[in-house]
Structure 1
Amino acid sequence: MKTNRTRPAGLLAGLLAMAALPAAAQNLTIGIGGSPTSLDPHFYNASPNISLTMHLFDRLVEQDAQARIQPALAESWRAISDTTWEFKLRPAVKWHDGRDFTADDVVFTISRAPNVPNSPGGFGGFVRAITRTEVVDPLTLRFHTAAPHPLLPTELASIQIISRHVGEGASTEDYNAGRAAIGTGPYRIGSYRPGDRTEFTRNPDYWRGQEPWARVSYRFIANDAARTAGLLAGDLDVIDQVPSSDIGRLRQNQRISISEIQGLRLIYLMTDFSRTDGPPVHVSDHEGRPLPRNPMLDPRVRRALSIAIDREALAERVMEGTARPTGQWLPPGSFSYNPAVVAPRPDPEGARRMLAEAGFPQGFRVTLHSPNDRYPNDARTAQAVAQMWTRIGVRTQVETLPWSAYAARTARQEHNARLAGWGSVTGEASYMLVNIFGTFNREKRTGASNNSRYSNPELDALTARATATLDDAARERLLQEAVAMVDRETAMIPLFQLVNFWATRRGITYEPRMDERTVAMGARPVN
């Protein structure tokens, strides 16, 4: 098993770059398009939350901009048996309050991460394989699993480490108030104003060395035009989710730089599987009468809705070339990408025939729900899909909500059809298989974000078999088989994969990330 170690040369380069900074370059202002909902690093497995808390908290293992795992609080790791991983922790790491980081903090984190009350989508899937965490000494840990689990280091890259001495007994509100927001990360909390901004100050004792920015103002700006205007006016230094309509003119502006990368996020549609008896919500016949059964439970209906969609039109007209049509959740070239699963061609006539075969020759009415401030062009995408569905006889009304309200309603299964996004930060298929398609089970820690309550025992068994397979080639074949099974069932309706864009003012660069996370640590002054 390969052992990973850090390179001191990178740290030296960072310190030299910081020393060369002019005084005026010490502050950074970032404008983000996605709304974080908490400073609790285990409250919600959503990219805006993770991006925010990455400034405060580190992980044992982290992923770089290309989603490759790297050492962080763990200096190295190795499998010492088929069911035991040993991690060596970095010495002399301090919490923001000056206390020492030790293995006991990791034990506490692993126990808390999957058990945060009222979480709309938690982190249990990342630690589901761990049956016991053993402290060998203050800087050595062993994770025991019931079966071989080769993905454990990759999965732990999504678990931010918190301290026992601060976190024990602390609630999500204690984190939001700043009382418990004590990490080992590159920044300390200054203030947190939900729905507005978070202020960070540089951690002078960070184990990697100081970051170049003394203060970071991390601002939520939902309006696309306002983010662009703030950048052009000099009020913002970095913006993410660059509006597709602005990319062309920003590229021509010599005071602005654009960085981009193929992302890992899929934008897709999900239907409700939670209601098997009684009338479904937000679905009716054309006269507004409730239907006796949920049409979304019929795979023919789901397939009809899928082939009614012109994904090329969505990518080119709605997304203006900033997305790529797809039939699965990983981009080509990724581990476990299945080349046999392609984006469905639009076939409105075939969709009408499928609806008739399913017992809905006249179609029905449905409400499609979508956030309006979370993903690029999310509400516009929902409106375009609604028009395509209406053309096949499924008269579709769109209801959009701000992300905070939308996420809460989704967690309560209040939507029958909804637009969603999922970024496979592990760079392989099991992340979505476990968390979105895995049967919801708190004890087994599967389906943590399965808010539609899809369940397929055959798929669950295949996923479990794949994630316990040590041989990479064999594991990839099993995961590709699972991708094909999701496609056959139309367990979801994939639309497109996003290309991630950031824009910065002159004098600052930003390293684009496949996981779309926007962090001050990716911004650097130009010497």
Structure 2
Amino acid sequence: MAGDPRSFRHAVVPAAGRCLLPLSGLAPVKVAAFPAPDRRGALRLLGAGALAAGLPLGLGACGFATPPKPVKGGRLRVATPASSTADTIDPARQTVVTDYCRCHMFYDGLTRLDAHSRAEPALAEAIDSSDARIWTVKLRPGVRFHDGKPLTADDVVYSIRRHKDPAIGSKAAAFAGQFADVRAMGSDAVRITLTGPNADLPVILGLPQFQIVRAGTTDFATANGTGAFRCVEFQPGVRSVAARNEDYWRGPVHLGEVELFSIADDSARVNALLSGDVDLINSVNPRISRHIRKAGFGVLETKTGGYTDLVIRLDRAPGNNPDFVAGMKLLMDRPAMRDAVFRGYATIANDQPIPPTNPYFATDLPQRAFDPERAAYHFRKAGMAGATIPLVSSTAAEKSDDLGVVMQQAARRAGITLDLRRAPADGYWTNSWMKVPMGFGNVNPRPTADIIFTQFFSSDGPWNESAWHDARFDRLLLEARGSTDEGVRRAIYGEMQHRIHDGSGVGIPLFLSLLDAHSPKVKGLRPMPSGGLMGYDFASHVWLDEKA
């Protein structure tokens, strides 16, 4: 990149009537978003103006149509497929879509992710570092919690430090382990010192689990955040009701209320939408997307790096036999899964979690083919020819029931029987996932390679699904995180993808498009790469037009 090596390509907010253009070759300036830096020097996230307020880019003089004017008020009813008594509004413990949706309504993070998975300012007005190890966070003034108390550095310090307490059960504990020290620098600034450099910290702080709570909060029967909605009701496994926060620091949002609950059955969830009982649903079956459109309802496709994966535990039989694992991965007929199960709403994957759209995608990794004859060889070598093996699926893991059927049919050609056992969606993530010898997981998109490797594939990752342990992989993870050379990072991440592909007990057949369906009166929805339902933050953006 030309110019000062500490600078990076950035976006600036244009004057009225001008198109947004990228600039390069400039000395570091205050910027409104945090794009992928060159990681060779100073890193900076500083935000102000229209972009920080989340305004759309490229309208008016750039040639796009003027968007419809939002309508204020109304109650949005939303149904998701999974809910249980384990539902939470503790940001640190978020695990499933319903948790993410609720917590996005009630809380804010220091940063949030934009339409390109870059960090942009939220409760942090500025984040700076000269070495990617020691970071200074300047808090946005004038922010208040729902109980009226002002946001201070103590709240941020408390929220980040609690991830390091094992009793909390934080799903971001693997990242919190990188925080050597977190301390207040006065009332409006925080200094974060990492154990080693990590240029992705602003993105990490945009993960849902790092949303900020009041200092000293231990009771999460209700929520006291800084978010766009206040918690009116929360009944785990039943429903939640949120009401618009008129004092929201970004300005009041459009909706008056949001009711969120679960309808586990796919057909029942769609029928609730078509009958007008709900306004918005997610996890739409691709097979009925055309029917929904013909009925006059909208279907939103979000192409992501998320996936439903085959999970074989390597710490118990039969997964402790490498030949069995190799055979199972060869039973995945990826084109058939894409076309028959997802009706084309998916991209072929290769048993590693980095999608082709990611700049670190390993192009040199040979595609694993569907080969039941070769699978039969591995099963015989494992001494399992003719065996019957349980495989657990659930509607809670996107289309895993159907994927299991495709694999069951392929297994017959390979000389084994897969006993497909369908577990109920209610409690699946607590009772079955990562507990049964072989089943399915469902992983939402992650914005960086470091994040997904840390959470799902490092030896101490909280969601190391197959109990895979690779000492070299763990060392490479730290090496890539600390490198400021993009070429080095690309080479390291490439090797890590090879190691996952060859050694882990996870089979990833496809990267999935997420389908949400909505009433024609729901306006403002758009795809966000961080997940369906606008990266789970739909409530802050959509509105209801009763005339539609």
C-alpha deviations, 1:67-114, integer Å up to 9, x for none?
221111101111133421111111110000000111111111112124
For residue 11 of structure 1, report the CA deviation from its aligned partner.
4.7
Residue 478 of structure 2 corresponds to which residue in structure 1? Answer: 464
**What amino acid is the match of 1:235?**
D
Q: 1:514 aligns with which of 529, 536, 539?
A: 529
Contact 1:270–1:419 (Cα < 8 Å) also in 2:
yes
Q: How does 1:291-440 map to 2 (within 5 A)?
A: 294-327=317-350, 328-360=352-384, 362-372=385-395, 374-410=396-432, 414-426=435-447, 428-440=448-460
In the TM superposition, residue 198 of structure 1 has moved relative to its aligned partner by 1.0
Match of 2:276 among 234, 241, 246: 234
Alignment equivalent of 1:130, drawn from 179, 204, 229:
179
Contact 2:44–2:129 under 8 Å retained in 1: no
Q: How many Å apart are 1:164 and its aligned residue?
A: 4.0
Note if contact 1:45-1:123 (Cα within 8 Å) is conserved in structure 2.
no
Q: 1:252 to 1:114 in 2, by over 3 A?
A: farther
Higher relative contact order (CA 8 A, sep 6+): 1
Runs of 4+ aligned structure 1 residues displaced above 6 Å come to 17-20
Alpha carbons of 1:403 and 1:66: their partners in 2 closer, same or farther (altered >3 Å)?
farther
Secondary structure of 1:212 counterpart: coil
Taking only the aligned residue pairs, the percentage that are identical comes to 23
Preserved contact between residue 44 and residue 123 of structure 1 (Cα < 8 Å):
no
The residue number in structure 2 matching 1:288 is none
Partners of 1:45 and 1:144 in 2: how far apart? 27
**1:90 matched to 2:162:** no
- Inter-partner Cα distance in structure 1 for 2:230 and 2:366: 45
2:464 is matched with 450
Q: Distance in 2 between the 1:82 and 1:43 partners? A: 27
Q: Whole-Å Cα distance in 2 between the matches of residues 61 and 11 of structure 1?
A: 12
Task: After TM superposition, give the deviation of residue 35 of structure 1 in Å.
Answer: 2.7
Q: d(CA) in 1 for partners of 2:195 and 2:339? A: 47
Match in the other structure for 1:290: none
In structure 2, give the amino acid aligned to 1:347. D
Give the Å deviation of 1:476: 2.2
CA deviation map 1:328-369 (0-9, x unaligned): 323212132112235421111111112223344x24222111
SS in 2 for 1:481: helix
**What do residues 419-461 of structure 1 show as CA deviations (whole Å, max 9, x unaligned)?**
11212422x3222221121112xxxxxx111243211111111
* Cα separation, 1, equivalents of 2:194 and 2:185: 16
> Is the CA contact 2:347–2:510 (under 8 Å) kept in the aligned structure 1?
yes
Tell me the TM-score normalized by structure 2: 0.83
Task: Tell me which amino acid in the other structure corresponds to 1:498.
Answer: L
**Residues in 1 aligned to 2:490 and 2:200: alpha-carbon distance in whole angstroms:** 12
CA deviations 1:252-301 (Å, max 9, x no partner) are: 34x322221211212111111233xxxxxxxxxxxxxxxxxx23123322
Structure 2 counterpart of 1:154: 203
> 1:269 is matched by which residue type in structure 2?
L
In structure 1, runs of 5+ residues without a counterpart are 276-293, 441-446
Tell me the C-alpha RMSD between the 2 structures: 2.5
SS at match of 2:298: strand
Q: 2:16 maps to which residue?
A: none
- Provide the residue aligned with 1:500 in structure 2: 514
1:414, 1:375 → 2: CA distance? 14
Alpha-carbon distance change, 434 to 62 in structure 1, aligned in 2, over 3 angstroms: same
TM-score (norm: length of structure 1): 0.86
**How far apart, CA to CA, are the structure 2 residues paired with 1:508 and 1:3?**
33
**3-state SS, counterpart of residue 459 of structure 2:** coil
Q: Distance in 2 between matches of 1:46 and 1:124?
A: 17
Asked whether the equivalents of residues 500 and 512 of structure 1 are also in contact (C-alpha less than 8 Å), the reply is: no
Distance in 1, matches of 2:399 and 2:160, equals 36
Q: 2:288 aligns with which of 239, 246, 257?
A: 246
Is 1:73 equivalent to 2:123 in the alignment? yes
Tell me the amino acid that sits aligned with residue 439 of structure 1: S
The verdict on how the C-alpha distance between 1:166 and 1:221 changes in structure 2, with shifts beyond 3 A counting, is: farther
Contact map agreement 1:105 1:161 (CA 8 A) in 2: no
Partner of 1:195: 237
1:487 Cα deviation from its structure 2 partner: 0.9
- Indicate which of 490, 495, 501 corresponds to 1:476: 490
Give the count of matched residue pairs.
Answer: 486
Greater Cα offset, 333-342 or 314-323 = 333-342
The Cα shift of 1:55 comes to: 0.6
Amino acid at match of 1:313: A
Change (3 A) 1:18 1:85: same
